Amino acid sequence: MQTTLPAAPTPDDAALWHGGRLYLADQRLLPDRAEFLALDDAPGVAEAIRAMVVRGAPAIGVAAAYGVVLAARTAYRAAGPAWHDAVTADLDLLAQARPTAVNLAWAVRRMAALIARLDGADPEPALLAEALSIHAEDRAANRRMGDLGAGLITGPTDVITHCNAGAIATGGYGTALGVIRSAYAAGKIRRVYADETRPWMQGARLTAWELMDSGIPVTLQADGAAASLMAGGGVGWVIVGSDRIAANGDVANKIGTYGLAILARYHGVKVMVAAPTSTVDMDLSCGRDIPIEERDPEELLSCGGRRLAPAGCAARNPVFDVTPAALVDAIVTERGVVLAPTLEKMRALMG
């Protein structure tokens, strides 16, 4: 996306292409250290996605698109004009890196569609142009969503966000935090309350870091503290992102979002989901069909390398939950806003 590489990543630098390599901001190290991880092949990109070097559905899609460029380069060097057959395994590896974030499969399919149209010549220039387009389109979409989402907020008000749906989770600017950035600039948000988001602490490590970098007032709270905050009044919106939205408007997002939406409905707080249309999966009729990733139970049993739970304790570690469309007041995309989403309204949006 740029000709020079920053000395250290900023929130808008989840993924950058520079000098023929993919650079990913290593989100496992933030906020203690801001460092890039340089990658030269598709298996490395797939592992970086799996290992949470890069996370956030749009950022995963962008990284996967660049991963396809690296896969094609490797295949062409190995097989020359027969590179089409040689690239298939790496495309499958990228597509399977994480199951819930639909942007990953969407980006690989888009790149694969271009591959199908290419001849036996060097595919890298055409595929790189497509990956750069995917990246640029995501940045532009997030800016558009920021403006549309901010338009729904009457302020000034406080808001709650859960997990991290900011610039570092996208191609730039952010989805949920993009709305927050635009609304704060318009004087509509007083303060953001960021849930810590156990067990990977994306709210504590990433959302707080991003908002502080943008000069937006942020207060961190334990995931279980949201109800008492809502009960005190002053919170107008819960604003979150999404990893997959079903055809009926059911929303998969970071574990804890469903409970937050229930609390919001009880307290009269509105729920906004900001996500690009690449996150909408019209092939899945409802949220029950969304595959929910489960990660290593050790992520719950330990923290910072220190064991918390007693030996032999079982743990359940789903990464996402599904919020029914009935609990969502608005889905904001770059194509427009869907209020009180239904299957018919989602079909109209996706056209």
Is residue 78 classed exposed, middle or buried when 0-12, 13-18 and 19+ CB atoms within 10 A define those classes?
exposed
Q: Where are the alpha helices (DSSP H) in 4-56?
A: 42-50
Say how far apart CA 51 and CA 113 lie, in whole Å: 27
Grouping H, G, I as helix, E, B as strand and the rest as coil, residue 290 is coil
Lateral strand order in the sheet of 21-25: 15-18, 21-25, 36-39
Cβ(127)–Cβ(87) below 8 Å:
no
Active-site annotation holder among 13, 243, 250, 329: 243
How many Cα atoms sit within 13 Å of 64 on the Cβ side? Answer: 31
How many other β-carbons are positioned within 10 Å of the β-carbon of residue 43? 17
Cβ(238)–Cβ(160) below 8 Å:
yes
Length, in residues, of the chain: 351
90 part of the active site: no
- Please give the positions annotated as active site: 243
